[in-house]
Amino acid sequence: MSRRRQGFTLIELLAAMAILALVSVMAVQALGGIFVQRDVLTRIDRDAATLARALALLRADLDGAAPVPWIDEAGEPRPAITMSESGFTLSRAGFGADSGGARIGRARWGLEPDGTLWRQVWPDQNADTPPGPRVPVLAQVTELALTPLRGDLPTVQEPASLPPGLAVTLTHRRHGTLRVVVAR
């Protein structure tokens, strides 16, 4: 008489469990890798969006540069564009949704010693209008420079003149040298 085998032997069950454990470990490692990759891509995407926003703000301010002198806090007339050790200030058209975007204001860009690029806005040219807060725009910036293209920046003698083009160069620790150029 032949005896029929029913079920699996202990060795077969142990082999199946070992294979299942190996496949499970591989799946967990792959899933962990996917989460790490997602975190890296999310950080890269966030950094790229922050950089794009900073460059777009710079471009908008350069595009809106207006040949309008302004009065500083001491009541002194200042050229439409002024430079300082840490950045620059320019008269800018396009502020004020209530007036169709025609109001002239000022935008100041600066660089903190810790590498934070910031922007501050005066939505009105009046000297008694308080400025908005300094808003951090981009971190890890090592250099900020504004240069005129084919011309000179406005002076105290000619405060309402603007060059035909402006370029802002900033150096970022991770992205290198970036340049925003606006021709008028």
Query: What pLDDT was estimated at residue 1?
Result: 54
Query: What pLDDT was estimated at residue 3?
Result: 66
> What does the pLDDT look like over 116-161, one tens digit per residue?
999 999 887 765 678 889 999 999 999 999 999 988 888 878 877 8
Direct distance between the N- and C-terminal alpha carbons of the chain, in angstroms, rounded to an integer: 102
Residues 6+ apart with CB under 8 A from 142: 115, 171, 172, 173
pTM to 2 decimals? 0.77
How open is the CA angle 66-69-73, to the nearest 5 degrees? 125
pLDDT for 103 beyond 60: yes
Q: How many CA atoms lie within 13 A of 17 on its CB side?
A: 7
